[in-house]
Amino acid sequence: MNRIKAAIYGVGAMNSIATRMLLDKDVEIVAAISRSKDKVGKDLGDLTGLGRQLGVIVTDDAKAALAESGADVAVIAVNSYMTDAVEQLRNCAEAGVNAVTLSEEALYPWNTSPELTAELDAIAKRTGATLTGTGHQDTYWVNIVAMMMGTAHRIDHVTGRASWNVDDYGPEVAGDQQVGKTVEQFNQWLSGAERPPTFGRNVLDALVADAGLTVKSITSTTRPDVAAEPMHSQALNLDVAAGDVIGFTDIDEIQTEEGVVFTFEMSGRVYGETDGDINDWEIKGEPDLVLSNGNVPTQITTCTQLVNRIPDVINADPGFVTMEKLPRLKYRAFGFHTYLEAGAE
Ligand SMILES: NC(=O)c1ccc[n+]([C@@H]2O[C@H](COP(=O)([O-])OP(=O)(O)OC[C@H]3O[C@@H](n4cnc5c(N)ncnc54)[C@H](OP(=O)(O)O)[C@@H]3O)[C@@H](O)[C@H]2O)c1
Protein backbone atom coordinates (compact mmCIF):
# COMPACT_ATOMS: atom_id res chain seq x y z
CA MET A 1 0.00 0.00 0.00
CA ASN A 2 1.42 3.38 -1.00
CA ARG A 3 2.09 6.12 1.55
CA ILE A 4 -0.53 8.88 1.74
CA LYS A 5 0.48 12.09 -0.02
CA ALA A 6 -0.58 15.30 1.74
CA ALA A 7 -0.66 18.99 0.86
CA ILE A 8 -0.19 21.40 3.76
CA TYR A 9 -2.67 24.25 3.22
CA GLY A 10 -1.81 27.22 5.46
CA VAL A 11 1.64 27.30 7.05
CA GLY A 12 0.86 28.72 10.48
CA ALA A 13 0.84 27.62 14.10
CA MET A 14 -1.40 24.55 13.74
CA ASN A 15 0.00 23.17 10.53
CA SER A 16 3.54 23.52 11.91
CA ILE A 17 2.59 20.97 14.58
CA ALA A 18 0.57 18.88 12.12
CA THR A 19 3.49 18.68 9.67
CA ARG A 20 5.69 16.94 12.26
CA MET A 21 2.86 14.58 13.22
CA LEU A 22 2.20 13.64 9.58
CA LEU A 23 5.86 12.86 8.96
CA ASP A 24 5.93 10.71 12.11
CA LYS A 25 3.05 8.67 10.66
CA ASP A 26 4.74 8.02 7.31
CA VAL A 27 2.76 10.59 5.33
CA GLU A 28 4.61 12.04 2.36
CA ILE A 29 4.27 15.82 2.15
CA VAL A 30 4.08 16.77 -1.51
CA ALA A 31 2.99 20.43 -1.41
CA ALA A 32 2.69 23.42 0.91
CA ILE A 33 0.49 26.45 0.31
CA SER A 34 0.56 29.79 2.09
CA ARG A 35 0.02 33.44 1.35
CA SER A 36 2.64 35.84 2.65
CA LYS A 37 5.91 36.87 1.01
CA ASP A 38 7.68 35.73 4.20
CA LYS A 39 6.73 32.13 3.49
CA VAL A 40 6.29 31.66 -0.25
CA GLY A 41 9.48 30.29 -1.84
CA LYS A 42 10.82 28.92 1.47
CA ASP A 43 11.22 25.29 2.48
CA LEU A 44 8.38 23.92 4.62
CA GLY A 45 10.84 22.28 7.02
CA ASP A 46 12.51 25.61 7.76
CA LEU A 47 9.17 27.36 8.36
CA THR A 48 7.74 24.69 10.66
CA GLY A 49 10.79 24.44 12.91
CA LEU A 50 11.60 20.83 12.00
CA GLY A 51 15.31 21.51 12.04
CA ARG A 52 15.70 20.05 8.56
CA GLN A 53 14.57 20.83 5.06
CA LEU A 54 11.85 18.75 3.41
CA GLY A 55 12.44 19.74 -0.21
CA VAL A 56 8.89 21.12 -0.26
CA ILE A 57 8.82 24.76 -1.35
CA VAL A 58 5.86 26.83 -0.20
CA THR A 59 3.73 28.23 -3.02
CA ASP A 60 0.80 30.62 -3.18
CA ASP A 61 -0.61 28.90 -6.26
CA ALA A 62 -3.06 26.58 -4.54
CA LYS A 63 -4.81 25.36 -7.67
CA ALA A 64 -1.55 24.31 -9.38
CA ALA A 65 -0.20 22.71 -6.20
CA LEU A 66 -3.35 20.64 -5.70
CA ALA A 67 -3.60 19.66 -9.37
CA GLU A 68 0.05 18.80 -9.94
CA SER A 69 1.35 17.36 -6.66
CA GLY A 70 -0.70 14.17 -6.68
CA ALA A 71 -1.91 14.91 -3.13
CA ASP A 72 -4.47 12.47 -1.71
CA VAL A 73 -5.48 14.89 1.02
CA ALA A 74 -5.10 18.55 1.90
CA VAL A 75 -4.59 19.47 5.55
CA ILE A 76 -6.16 22.92 5.91
CA ALA A 77 -5.43 25.29 8.81
CA VAL A 78 -6.19 28.72 7.39
CA ASN A 79 -9.34 30.36 8.77
CA SER A 80 -12.53 29.81 10.76
CA TYR A 81 -15.69 30.67 8.86
CA MET A 82 -17.28 29.19 5.76
CA THR A 83 -17.37 32.51 3.88
CA ASP A 84 -13.54 32.40 3.93
CA ALA A 85 -13.01 28.63 4.07
CA VAL A 86 -15.04 28.02 0.93
CA GLU A 87 -12.08 29.19 -1.18
CA GLN A 88 -9.72 26.49 0.12
CA LEU A 89 -12.41 23.79 0.24
CA ARG A 90 -13.57 24.60 -3.30
CA ASN A 91 -9.98 24.42 -4.58
CA CYS A 92 -9.61 20.96 -3.01
CA ALA A 93 -13.01 19.68 -4.16
CA GLU A 94 -12.49 20.88 -7.73
CA ALA A 95 -9.09 19.17 -7.85
CA GLY A 96 -10.63 15.95 -6.48
CA VAL A 97 -8.41 16.17 -3.38
CA ASN A 98 -9.84 15.04 -0.02
CA ALA A 99 -9.58 17.63 2.75
CA VAL A 100 -9.52 17.85 6.52
CA THR A 101 -9.94 21.38 7.82
CA LEU A 102 -9.71 23.16 11.16
CA SER A 103 -12.22 25.83 10.13
CA GLU A 104 -14.54 25.81 13.11
CA GLU A 105 -17.72 26.44 11.17
CA ALA A 106 -16.89 23.52 8.85
CA LEU A 107 -17.41 21.15 11.79
CA TYR A 108 -21.16 21.18 11.07
CA PRO A 109 -21.96 23.95 8.55
CA TRP A 110 -25.28 22.62 7.23
CA ASN A 111 -27.41 25.05 9.29
CA THR A 112 -25.17 28.14 9.39
CA SER A 113 -23.98 28.10 5.73
CA PRO A 114 -26.35 25.76 3.92
CA GLU A 115 -25.81 27.07 0.38
CA LEU A 116 -22.01 27.03 0.52
CA THR A 117 -22.02 23.57 2.11
CA ALA A 118 -24.40 22.17 -0.50
CA GLU A 119 -22.27 23.67 -3.28
CA LEU A 120 -19.10 22.08 -1.88
CA ASP A 121 -20.91 18.79 -1.28
CA ALA A 122 -22.04 18.69 -4.93
CA ILE A 123 -18.56 19.46 -6.31
CA ALA A 124 -16.93 16.88 -4.01
CA LYS A 125 -19.46 14.21 -4.99
CA ARG A 126 -18.74 14.93 -8.65
CA THR A 127 -14.94 14.71 -8.29
CA GLY A 128 -14.85 11.91 -5.68
CA ALA A 129 -13.38 14.00 -2.83
CA THR A 130 -14.42 14.00 0.84
CA LEU A 131 -14.37 17.24 2.85
CA THR A 132 -14.50 17.15 6.66
CA GLY A 133 -14.16 19.73 9.43
CA THR A 134 -12.38 18.41 12.53
CA GLY A 135 -10.06 19.64 15.29
CA HIS A 136 -10.45 19.83 19.04
CA GLN A 137 -14.25 19.85 18.85
CA ASP A 138 -14.45 16.50 17.00
CA THR A 139 -13.93 14.29 20.05
CA TYR A 140 -13.92 16.63 23.05
CA TRP A 141 -17.03 18.68 22.29
CA VAL A 142 -19.04 16.37 20.03
CA ASN A 143 -18.22 12.68 19.84
CA ILE A 144 -17.27 12.07 23.48
CA VAL A 145 -20.42 13.95 24.54
CA ALA A 146 -22.53 12.01 22.04
CA MET A 147 -21.17 8.76 23.47
CA MET A 148 -22.09 9.87 27.00
CA MET A 149 -25.58 10.77 25.72
CA GLY A 150 -25.78 7.20 24.44
CA THR A 151 -25.55 5.98 28.04
CA ALA A 152 -28.69 7.89 29.14
CA HIS A 153 -32.28 6.64 29.22
CA ARG A 154 -33.80 10.15 29.18
CA ILE A 155 -32.12 13.51 28.59
CA ASP A 156 -33.58 16.84 29.68
CA HIS A 157 -30.53 19.07 29.39
CA VAL A 158 -26.97 18.79 28.05
CA THR A 159 -24.66 21.53 29.34
CA GLY A 160 -21.07 22.12 28.30
CA ARG A 161 -18.44 24.56 29.49
CA ALA A 162 -15.06 24.94 27.81
CA SER A 163 -12.20 27.38 27.62
CA TRP A 164 -9.00 27.64 25.60
CA ASN A 165 -6.04 29.98 25.41
CA VAL A 166 -5.95 32.26 22.35
CA ASP A 167 -2.14 32.37 22.63
CA ASP A 168 -1.87 28.62 21.92
CA TYR A 169 -2.74 29.51 18.31
CA GLY A 170 -1.61 31.90 15.60
CA PRO A 171 -2.61 35.47 14.71
CA GLU A 172 -5.65 34.35 12.66
CA VAL A 173 -7.33 33.07 15.83
CA ALA A 174 -6.37 36.05 18.00
CA GLY A 175 -7.78 38.40 15.35
CA ASP A 176 -11.04 36.44 15.25
CA GLN A 177 -11.26 36.65 19.06
CA GLN A 178 -10.99 40.48 18.83
CA VAL A 179 -7.90 40.57 21.07
CA GLY A 180 -6.66 44.13 21.69
CA LYS A 181 -9.94 45.85 20.76
CA THR A 182 -11.61 48.33 23.07
CA VAL A 183 -14.94 47.25 24.52
CA GLU A 184 -16.61 49.87 22.33
CA GLN A 185 -14.99 48.42 19.16
CA PHE A 186 -15.96 44.94 20.34
CA ASN A 187 -19.60 45.94 20.81
CA GLN A 188 -19.65 47.51 17.35
CA TRP A 189 -18.30 44.25 15.87
CA LEU A 190 -20.80 42.21 17.86
CA SER A 191 -23.80 44.20 16.69
CA GLY A 192 -22.55 44.43 13.09
CA ALA A 193 -23.83 42.38 10.21
CA GLU A 194 -20.47 40.63 9.82
CA ARG A 195 -20.62 38.83 13.18
CA PRO A 196 -20.05 35.22 12.08
CA PRO A 197 -21.69 32.16 13.70
CA THR A 198 -20.36 31.17 17.11
CA PHE A 199 -18.16 28.06 17.24
CA GLY A 200 -20.51 26.67 19.92
CA ARG A 201 -23.52 26.83 17.61
CA ASN A 202 -21.86 24.42 15.16
CA VAL A 203 -20.93 22.10 18.04
CA LEU A 204 -24.51 22.01 19.32
CA ASP A 205 -25.91 21.59 15.78
CA ALA A 206 -23.68 18.50 15.43
CA LEU A 207 -24.88 17.05 18.77
CA VAL A 208 -28.52 17.64 17.87
CA ALA A 209 -28.05 16.07 14.41
CA ASP A 210 -26.18 13.09 15.86
CA ALA A 211 -29.09 12.35 18.22
CA GLY A 212 -31.59 12.67 15.35
CA LEU A 213 -33.36 15.59 17.08
CA THR A 214 -34.81 18.73 15.49
CA VAL A 215 -33.79 22.30 16.30
CA LYS A 216 -36.77 24.39 17.50
CA SER A 217 -34.98 27.61 18.51
CA ILE A 218 -31.48 28.95 19.07
CA THR A 219 -30.16 31.77 21.22
CA SER A 220 -26.58 33.01 21.30
CA THR A 221 -25.17 35.62 23.66
CA THR A 222 -21.60 36.87 23.71
CA ARG A 223 -19.71 38.84 26.34
CA PRO A 224 -16.23 40.31 25.98
CA ASP A 225 -13.50 39.02 28.31
CA VAL A 226 -11.57 42.04 29.49
CA ALA A 227 -8.00 42.38 30.86
CA ALA A 228 -8.09 43.10 34.60
CA GLU A 229 -4.47 44.32 34.35
CA PRO A 230 -2.12 44.98 31.39
CA MET A 231 -1.50 41.72 29.47
CA HIS A 232 0.54 40.60 26.47
CA SER A 233 -0.84 38.54 23.57
CA GLN A 234 1.93 36.34 22.24
CA ALA A 235 -0.06 35.41 19.11
CA LEU A 236 -0.35 39.04 18.02
CA ASN A 237 2.79 40.27 19.82
CA LEU A 238 0.54 42.96 21.26
CA ASP A 239 0.30 44.62 24.67
CA VAL A 240 -3.33 44.78 25.79
CA ALA A 241 -4.22 47.59 28.18
CA ALA A 242 -6.29 46.93 31.31
CA GLY A 243 -9.96 47.24 30.33
CA ASP A 244 -9.39 46.14 26.73
CA VAL A 245 -10.55 42.88 25.18
CA ILE A 246 -8.56 39.61 25.57
CA GLY A 247 -11.18 37.39 23.88
CA PHE A 248 -14.81 36.54 24.45
CA THR A 249 -17.27 34.01 25.84
CA ASP A 250 -20.24 32.71 23.83
CA ILE A 251 -23.24 31.05 25.39
CA ASP A 252 -25.32 29.12 22.86
CA GLU A 253 -28.56 27.35 23.63
CA ILE A 254 -30.63 25.12 21.37
CA GLN A 255 -34.15 24.04 22.29
CA THR A 256 -35.26 20.97 20.37
CA GLU A 257 -38.76 19.97 19.25
CA GLU A 258 -38.33 16.85 21.39
CA GLY A 259 -37.76 18.95 24.54
CA VAL A 260 -34.04 18.28 25.05
CA VAL A 261 -32.12 21.52 25.72
CA PHE A 262 -28.44 21.95 24.81
CA THR A 263 -26.33 24.76 26.31
CA PHE A 264 -22.66 25.44 25.65
CA GLU A 265 -20.52 28.18 27.19
CA MET A 266 -17.21 28.57 25.36
CA SER A 267 -14.49 31.02 26.23
CA GLY A 268 -11.45 31.77 24.03
CA ARG A 269 -9.20 34.41 25.59
CA VAL A 270 -5.59 35.26 26.40
CA TYR A 271 -4.87 33.44 29.65
CA GLY A 272 -3.49 34.96 32.82
CA GLU A 273 -1.10 32.96 34.99
CA THR A 274 -3.80 31.09 36.91
CA ASP A 275 -6.06 30.23 33.93
CA GLY A 276 -6.23 26.72 32.43
CA ASP A 277 -8.27 24.88 29.82
CA ILE A 278 -11.72 23.65 30.87
CA ASN A 279 -13.86 20.94 29.30
CA ASP A 280 -16.85 20.02 31.48
CA TRP A 281 -20.09 18.41 30.29
CA GLU A 282 -23.17 17.52 32.29
CA ILE A 283 -26.34 15.65 31.37
CA LYS A 284 -29.51 16.10 33.41
CA GLY A 285 -31.99 13.27 32.98
CA GLU A 286 -32.03 9.60 33.88
CA PRO A 287 -29.41 9.25 35.12
CA ASP A 288 -27.55 12.53 35.71
CA LEU A 289 -24.09 12.22 34.15
CA VAL A 290 -20.88 14.25 34.34
CA LEU A 291 -17.77 14.32 32.20
CA SER A 292 -14.89 16.52 33.23
CA ASN A 293 -11.54 16.56 31.53
CA GLY A 294 -10.05 19.95 32.23
CA ASN A 295 -6.48 20.71 31.27
CA VAL A 296 -6.86 18.97 27.93
CA PRO A 297 -4.06 20.62 25.93
CA THR A 298 -6.37 21.84 23.16
CA GLN A 299 -3.51 23.03 20.96
CA ILE A 300 -2.16 19.49 20.64
CA THR A 301 -5.52 17.68 20.59
CA THR A 302 -6.54 19.99 17.76
CA CYS A 303 -3.65 18.74 15.63
CA THR A 304 -3.82 15.07 16.65
CA GLN A 305 -7.44 14.94 15.57
CA LEU A 306 -6.77 16.88 12.38
CA VAL A 307 -4.22 14.29 11.29
CA ASN A 308 -5.70 11.11 12.85
CA ARG A 309 -8.93 11.74 10.89
CA ILE A 310 -7.11 11.46 7.56
CA PRO A 311 -7.60 7.69 7.01
CA ASP A 312 -11.31 8.00 7.92
CA VAL A 313 -11.77 10.86 5.47
CA ILE A 314 -10.01 9.06 2.62
CA ASN A 315 -12.05 5.92 3.35
CA ALA A 316 -15.37 7.82 3.46
CA ASP A 317 -17.84 8.28 0.62
CA PRO A 318 -17.40 11.54 -1.35
CA GLY A 319 -19.14 14.74 -0.34
CA PHE A 320 -19.14 17.11 2.62
CA VAL A 321 -19.09 14.52 5.39
CA THR A 322 -19.32 15.88 8.93
CA MET A 323 -17.24 14.20 11.63
CA GLU A 324 -20.11 12.70 13.65
CA LYS A 325 -20.82 10.51 10.59
CA LEU A 326 -17.26 9.13 10.52
CA PRO A 327 -16.14 6.11 12.58
CA ARG A 328 -15.07 6.65 16.19
CA LEU A 329 -11.63 8.29 16.15
CA LYS A 330 -8.90 5.73 16.77
CA TYR A 331 -5.31 5.85 17.94
CA ARG A 332 -3.00 5.51 14.95
CA ALA A 333 0.07 3.59 16.04
CA PHE A 334 1.22 2.86 12.50
CA GLY A 335 1.69 4.70 9.22
CA PHE A 336 -1.61 6.26 8.17
CA HIS A 337 -1.63 4.38 4.85
CA THR A 338 -2.00 1.09 6.75
CA TYR A 339 -5.51 2.20 7.81
CA LEU A 340 -6.80 2.69 4.28
CA GLU A 341 -9.49 0.34 3.09
CA ALA A 342 -8.94 -1.56 -0.15
CA GLY A 343 -10.04 0.65 -3.02
CA ALA A 344 -9.73 3.87 -1.00
CA GLU A 345 -5.99 4.35 -1.51
N1 LIG B 1 -11.04 23.40 15.04
C2 LIG B 1 -10.11 23.61 15.94
O3 LIG B 1 -9.98 22.88 16.91
C4 LIG B 1 -9.13 24.72 15.75
C5 LIG B 1 -8.07 24.87 16.64
C6 LIG B 1 -7.10 25.82 16.36
C7 LIG B 1 -7.23 26.67 15.28
N8 LIG B 1 -8.33 26.54 14.48
C9 LIG B 1 -8.50 27.44 13.32
O10 LIG B 1 -7.52 27.14 12.35
C11 LIG B 1 -7.11 28.33 11.69
C12 LIG B 1 -5.60 28.37 11.66
O13 LIG B 1 -5.08 28.49 12.98
P14 LIG B 1 -3.54 28.82 13.23
O15 LIG B 1 -3.38 28.96 14.70
O16 LIG B 1 -2.69 27.85 12.51
O17 LIG B 1 -3.47 30.26 12.52
P18 LIG B 1 -2.23 31.03 11.91
O19 LIG B 1 -0.98 30.68 12.64
O20 LIG B 1 -2.63 32.45 11.81
O21 LIG B 1 -2.09 30.37 10.43
C22 LIG B 1 -2.96 30.61 9.37
C23 LIG B 1 -2.19 30.33 8.09
O24 LIG B 1 -3.08 30.40 6.97
C25 LIG B 1 -2.41 31.07 5.92
N26 LIG B 1 -3.37 31.67 5.00
C27 LIG B 1 -4.25 32.66 5.24
N28 LIG B 1 -5.02 32.87 4.17
C29 LIG B 1 -4.60 32.01 3.21
C30 LIG B 1 -5.01 31.73 1.90
N31 LIG B 1 -6.00 32.39 1.33
N32 LIG B 1 -4.37 30.75 1.23
C33 LIG B 1 -3.37 30.06 1.80
N34 LIG B 1 -2.95 30.27 3.06
C35 LIG B 1 -3.55 31.23 3.76
C36 LIG B 1 -1.56 32.12 6.61
O37 LIG B 1 -0.55 32.41 5.71
P38 LIG B 1 0.60 33.51 5.88
O39 LIG B 1 1.19 33.33 7.25
O40 LIG B 1 1.53 33.13 4.78
O41 LIG B 1 -0.08 34.84 5.72
C42 LIG B 1 -1.08 31.34 7.83
O43 LIG B 1 0.08 30.62 7.55
C44 LIG B 1 -7.76 29.50 12.49
O45 LIG B 1 -8.82 30.06 11.78
C46 LIG B 1 -8.25 28.86 13.74
O47 LIG B 1 -9.43 29.46 14.28
C48 LIG B 1 -9.27 25.60 14.70
Does ligand 1 lie within 6 Å of residue 35's CB atom? yes
Contacts 24+ apart (CB under 8 A), 295-301: 296/136, 296/140, 298/136, 298/140, 298/164, 298/165, 298/168, 299/13, 299/14, 299/17, 299/165, 299/168, 299/169, 300/17, 301/136, 301/139, 301/140
Ligand 1 geometric centre to CA of 17 (Å): 12
Distance CA 307, CA 295 (A): 21
Supply angle C-alpha 76, 82, 83, rounded to 5. 115
| Residue 342: per-residue pLDDT | 83
Distance CA 27, CA 154 (A): 44
Distance CA 95, CA 250 (A): 36
Asked whether 253 and 297 are in contact (CB, 8 A), the reply is no
Asked if pLDDT for residue 306 goes beyond 80, the answer is: yes
Asked whether 326 and 132 are in contact (CB, 8 A), the reply is yes
CATH of 137-296, one of 3.30.750, 3.40.50, 1.10.10, 3.30.360: 3.30.360
| Residue 345: per-residue pLDDT | 59
**67-90 per-residue burial string, b: 16 or more CB within 10 A, e: under 16:** bebebbbbbbbbbbbbeebbebbb
Convert the pLDDT of each residue in 118-133 to its tens digit.
Answer: 999 999 999 999 999 9
The alpha carbon torsion through 29, 30, 35, 37 (nearest 10 deg) reads 100
Distance CA 189, CA 184 (A): 9
What average pLDDT does the segment 315-330 reach?
97
Asked if pLDDT for residue 54 goes beyond 90, the answer is: yes
Query: What are the beta bridge partners of residue 240?
Result: 231
Convert the pLDDT of each residue in 66-93 to its tens digit.
Answer: 999 999 999 999 999 999 999 999 999 9
| Residue 296: per-residue pLDDT | 86
Q: Which atom of ligand 1 is nearest to the CA of 305?
A: 3
Report the chain's terminal Cα–Cα distance, integer Å: 8
Domain boundaries, the chain: 5-134+309-339, 137-296
What average pLDDT does the segment 306-333 reach?
98
Does ligand 1 lie within 6 Å of residue 36's CB atom? yes
Ligand 1: which of 102, 134, 176, 179 to mutate, most ligand atoms within 8 Å of CB? 102
CATH 1.10.1740.10 fits 5-134+309-339, yes or no: no
In 3D space, the residue among 89, 41, 42, 82 whose CA is nearest the CA of residue 66 turns out to be: 89
Does ligand 1 lie within 6 Å of residue 165's CB atom? no
Ligand 1 geometric centre to CA of 214 (Å): 33
Asked if pLDDT for residue 163 goes beyond 70, the answer is: yes
Ligand 1: which of 8, 11, 14 to mutate, most ligand atoms within 8 Å of CB? 14
What average pLDDT does the segment 164-181 reach?
93
Q: Flag the least confident range among 51-60, 103-112, 272-281.
A: 272-281
Ligand 1: which of 16, 33, 35, 167 to mutate, most ligand atoms within 8 Å of CB? 35
Q: Flag the least confident range among 5-9, 166-170, 308-312.
A: 166-170
Convert the pLDDT of each residue in 266-288 to its tens digit.
Answer: 999 999 999 988 999 999 999 99
Does ligand 1 lie within 6 Å of residue 10's CB atom? yes
Ligand 1: which of 100, 166, 172, 199 to mutate, most ligand atoms within 8 Å of CB? 172
Ligand 1 geometric centre to CA of 218 (Å): 28
Share of the chain above pLDDT 90, in %: 92
Give the pLDDT band (50/70/90) at residue 37.
very high
